[in-house]
Amino acid sequence: MKMTKERLRGKFNKLIRENNKMMTEKFEKLLKSGAIDFAAWDDDFVLPKLIMTAMGKEMINQWRPFDKRWSKEIENFYIMM
């Protein structure tokens, strides 16, 4: 069976739900770790964006393609976004 727009949307939304759970768990783990000195950070979006960037790095490490040919596809998708 070939991919369709509807099937892709369903699979993508499933991944979003699964990653939302993973990200929430990792965020709570980070908060419990005591690694963040809240007094050192301004009440803006710098700290949350840094944490989100770390989450993105985690996703890259988990999902890095095993086949090098997919790296070009990833780059093309990134450019189109």
* pTM (predicted TM-score): 0.79
Question: How is the chain split into domains, by residue range?
Answer: 5-80
pLDDT digits (tens, 9 = 90+) for 35-75: 999 999 999 999 999 999 999 998 888 887 778 888 888 88
Spatial CB neighbours of 40, under 8 Å, sequence gap ≥ 6 = none
Quickly state the pLDDT bin for 25 (edges 50, 70, 90): very high
Spatial CB neighbours of 19, under 8 Å, sequence gap ≥ 6 = 59
Burial environment of residue 16 by CB neighbours within 10 A (0 to 12, 13 to 18, 19 or more):
exposed
